[in-house]
Amino acid sequence: MVLRVRKNQAPPTPEGCPLTECMSVLGGAWTPNIIWYLSAGPRRFSELRLDIPGVSAKVLTARLRSLEASGVISREVKPTSPPSVEYALTDLGEELIPAINAIVKVGHKLKMREAVVQA
């Protein structure tokens, strides 16, 4: 019996897979968390550190720089003392919110399943 490769209905992800594209933006550690917390409004560096226990200053800086380069967040230095820096989602960043919400939703289902498996 010969096994043939079946044609499936999945759109053939043409030039440069948008899935891979988007995952490269929100792929790093803590990245989705950062977007999640910014979705509630602008936030300062140290506030984000408190929001996300476990993230190091180094990684948080790296993520914020990378997200800024992707055009997902904006960075605004306020002339306060000590100086404070406010990060916020751009219009493009706001587009990520539904994706993040969908992921959170599945996260809940996963946790529920885990609870069942435990029992």
Q: How far is the CB of 115 from DNA (least distance, A)?
A: 24
Nearest to 75 by CA among 51, 97, 46, 45: 45
Contact string (CB under 8 A) for a copy of itself, positions 5-44, x = contact: xx-xxx--x--xxxxxxxx-xxx----xx--xx-xxx-xx
Q: Helix, strand or coil for residue 80?
A: coil
> Which residues 26-45 are close enough to bind DNA by CB under 7 A?
28-30, 44-45
Gap between the Cα atoms of 27 and 108, Å rounded: 20
Contact string (CB under 8 A) for a copy of itself, positions 80-119, x = contact: xxx-x-------x--xx-xxxxxxxxxxxxxx-x---x--
Pairing relationship of beta strands 84-89 and 43-44 according to DSSP bridges: antiparallel
> Which residues 65-104 are close enough to bind DNA by CB under 7 A?
65, 75, 81-86
Token code pair at residue 40: 């509630």
DSSP state, residue 9: -
Binding site for DNA (CB under 7 A): 1-3, 5, 28-30, 44-47, 54-59, 61-62, 64-65, 75, 81-86
